[in-house]
Amino acid sequence: MASTRTLWKNGPTVGAIGLGCMGMTWAYKSDELSESPARIIGHALDLGVNFIDTADVYGPFTNEEVVGQALGARRDEAVLATKGGLVSHIGDAGEPVISGPNGHPDHLRKAIDDSLRRLGVDYVDLYYLHRPDPKVPVEDSIGAMAEMVEAGKVRALGVSEFTVEQLDRAQSVHPISAVQSELSLWTRDHRATSLAWTERNGAAFVPFSPLGRGFLTGNFRGTAPAQDDFRAQLPRFKQENLDANLVIVDAIASVAEELGSTPAQVALAWVLAQGEHVVPIPGTRRSSRLEENAAAGSVTLTPAHIETLDALPEPAGGRY
């Protein structure tokens, strides 16, 4: 399996595995093995993991700042993506609270300028509408984003968690170069919908949480997340569902043992096997995990392995 991919038709060349930066400042509980974002992002570029993903809502706002500082003079080595159109604030207890989508053109025009300032860059390679706003026509949101391309602030447009109908409407206004949605061995909903749409339309499919927020690596075997970790609020991470979902972890571990790989590498290799236009963005705060993830681009699953993994049961518990 190739270790690089073309991000979208005639797009930039990126490592087959990207880097999602959300967890560096938001949602997941840190631990004593966590390393600084600057160290992780710098090492990622050294490894050829050059597709870097952030968003204004992460923090809120702090994630873009640390990503921009970490890239520094190496900005041109990265294919940099950020997102706008999802609003959050800090709650009474100091926790980030997502208020909901805002796809109004005026909001997006301000959002991109604020993102560029926080990142310390003149442009981003890819700008996503983070979620569709049911109160704003898709065409209006994408129209405002198309202005950003014309102004040189953005090189290409993407969307996140769009239906096929919404994708068609967005595409009618401006080419959509990437679609970001969840895809992993315990979230396979999008294979027949937006994943298929991206293949037909020469766009990239960018899976977030390709390791099931860490579950598919086996790290939560018998252990639920800490209560101040975002995952503790998700149905699949409730103890009874964690226990039920171990059958998925066990099957991945079995394939990994046969291949001499790790469960994380097998889970990522399965995602990569969904199409040459697929570039997953696992997150990490440890160099060892970064290296492990990057090496998944060289893992090749046999047809028998893919058949085994495709036959895994649906997980217990919803995504949210």
Cα angle 85, 89, 92 (rounded to 5 degrees) comes to 160
Catalytic residue among 58, 123, 127, 128: 58
58 as an active site residue: the answer is yes
Pick from 286, 225, 228, 214: which is nearest to 34 by CA? 286
The C-alpha atoms of residue 274 and residue 276 are separated, in whole angstroms, by 7
Say if CB 18 and CB 158 are below 8 A apart: no
The C-alpha atoms of residue 24 and residue 290 are separated, in whole angstroms, by 13
Say if CB 112 and CB 153 are below 8 A apart: yes
Q: Which two tokens stand for residue 297?
A: 């681009």
User: Which residues are catalytic, by number?
Assistant: 58
